[in-house]
Amino acid sequence: MSDVDFKEALREAGIPTNEAELKKAWEQEVIEQGSKLSNSGPWSPFWRVITALITKPVLWLIDFIIDTVLPNFFVKTAVNGWLDMLAWAVNIERKKATKAQGELLFTRSSAAGVLDVEVGTRVQSAAINGHVYELQTTAPGRFVDGQLQLAIPVEAVDAGSGFNLAPGYYAIMPVPIPGIVQVVNTDHWLTSPGDDREPNDQLRLRTRNQFSAVNQYHTDAVYRAMITNFPGVRPDGVFFEYGAPRGPGSANAFVLFEAGVPANEYLVTINAYIREQGNHGHGDDLQVMNMPETRHDIVVRLWPQENLNTVQRVKLQDQVGQFIRAAFRESTASDYQPTLTMPQSRFSFSRLGEELHAQFPRIESLDFANTDILSELNIPRIHSLEVILAA
């Protein structure tokens, strides 16, 4: 994380940092104090006592200073509770973990009669690298006579950003309800995204940003500080557009969400908060929006190793698809850790292929039909994905 060598900094200050340097310093001090002791060899009882009683505790303290105290004096290198205190000094608190909330669309087989869906009805995703994400309904749902589909509010069973899955992922009812033939999370199903306890790297970015946000003139740093107070918004996921997109004095802030894009109501809340604070600065009319998307058809031909049976080949095909979808931000990087699509960058399919080989050693070869994606102020998403098993 840091290019600062704290051990070298102590050396430059003339402080011994290892046992040999300490022994040399003790010997010099003995001479300066006029001691007549001459037995300073490694087997000397005197130096063995000095090492046991003084040198080792001093080394413990020096290591503690180098590895813990000095790094945690600075925002760039501080971690955990130390970083919390540095953030507190600039009026920032670490964001707590939150549960994803939203709506699922239930569909029944017949529109005739009344059908109830109880509170606590569970809906799961398919396994993503062994992880199954689960939601449960938070209010009773009732289909009235003539109604075929019904949106019912849900909440994740646990906190975390992993539950912010893209549309279509939540489709499994572990306990089927007679009459219900389909359940799915549709576009913009999230009303409030789930979030993990803010990790050190994101808190570090918000703390650093705060040093630029102390003025009363609304610059990028001030707007970023306000927007990133909300769950699910990363400090490195806010991009600004200038040039008066809606006329003089206007600017846009595009928010890149990790996976599932929240409903418009969530952005309405953020924009209302900014209006309450008052717009002034480079954008007298600043609006927060979802990051624009581009949609892409991804096709990859997959050659598994020849010794795999049919079940193993199909499983590998599914895993490759999940990994590619993770790269295009349909699930969080905690399940797989590919290089993610980003605005204003190049997405390399050759690098994606390398990462797939590293993740799944049973891949013999891969061939993408796609060329690199050059994104502007937008985020590439998947329109369709086809993983073709080669014969």
Q: How many CB atoms lie within 10 A of CB 8?
A: 11
What is residue 54's predicted lDDT score, i.e. its pLDDT? 79
Over residues 355-373, the pLDDT tens digits come to 999 999 999 999 999 999 9
pLDDT band of 10, cuts 50, 70, 90? confident
Which of 385, 389, 365 lies closest to 310, judged by CA?
389
Q: State the pLDDT at residue 217.
A: 59
* Token output for 73: 């004096």
More confident residue, 178 or 334: 178
State how far Cα 350 lies from the chain centre: 24
In terms of pLDDT, which residue wins out, 247 or 372? Answer: 372
pLDDT tens-digit series, residues 257-309: 877 788 788 899 998 888 887 665 555 688 899 999 999 999 999 999 999 99
The full 3-state SS of 233-299, as one line of letters, equals CCHHHEEEECCCECECCEEEEEECCCCCCECHHHHHHHHHHHHHHCCCECCCEEEEEECCEEEEEEE
Label residue 188 exposed, middle or buried (CB < 10 Å: 0-12, 13-18, 19+). Answer: middle
The answer, yes or no, to whether residue 2 has pLDDT greater than 70, is: no
> Higher-confidence residue: 224 or 39?
224
Local structure of 351: helix, strand or coil: helix
What is the predicted pLDDT for the residue at 37? 60
User: CA nearest 293: which of 164, 184, 383?
Assistant: 383
pLDDT confidence band for 58 (50 / 70 / 90) = confident
Q: Is the dihedral of CA 92, 94, 99, 103 positive or negative?
A: positive
Please tell me the distance from the alpha carbon of residue 118 to that of residue 152, in angstroms, as a whole number: 10
Q: Is the dihedral of CA 341, 342, 344, 346 positive or negative?
A: negative
Q: How far is CA 381 from CA 133, 263, 293, 344, in A?
A: 21, 17, 6, 14
Query: What pLDDT shows up at residue 283?
Result: 57
pLDDT in tens, 102-138: 999 999 999 999 999 999 999 999 888 888 999 999 9
Task: Compute the Cα dihedral for 206, 211, 213, 214 and give only its sign.
Answer: positive
What is the pLDDT, as a whole number, of residue 136?
96
d(CA 306, CA 74): 53
DSSP calls for 29-98: HHHHTT------STT-HHHHHHIIIIIHHHHHHHHHIIIIITGGGSTTT--HHHHHHHHHTTT--PPPPB
Query: In the chain, pLDDT over 90 holds for what percent of residues?
Result: 57
Which SS3 state, helix, strand or coil, does residue 350 take? Answer: helix
The mean pLDDT of the chain is: 88
* The length of the chain, given as a count of residues: 391
At 143 the pLDDT is 94
Is-contact 331 325, C-beta < 8 A?
yes
User: Which of 23-37, 194-208, 357-371 bottoms out in mean pLDDT, i.e. has the lowest?
Assistant: 23-37
Question: Do 228 and 234 form a contact (C-beta atoms < 8 A)?
Answer: yes
Q: What is the pLDDT, as a whole number, of residue 17? A: 82
The structural domains of the chain, ordered by start, are 6-73 (no CATH), 101-192 (2.40.30), 212-290 (3.30.300), 294-389 (no CATH)
- Note the pLDDT of residue 221: 83
Q: Does the pLDDT at position 333 exceed 70?
A: no
Instruction: Give the pLDDT of residue 302.
Output: 96
Q: How confident is the model at residue 180 (pLDDT cuts 50, 70, 90)?
A: very high
Judge whether residue 216 has pLDDT over 60: no
How confident is the model at residue 334, as a pLDDT?
63
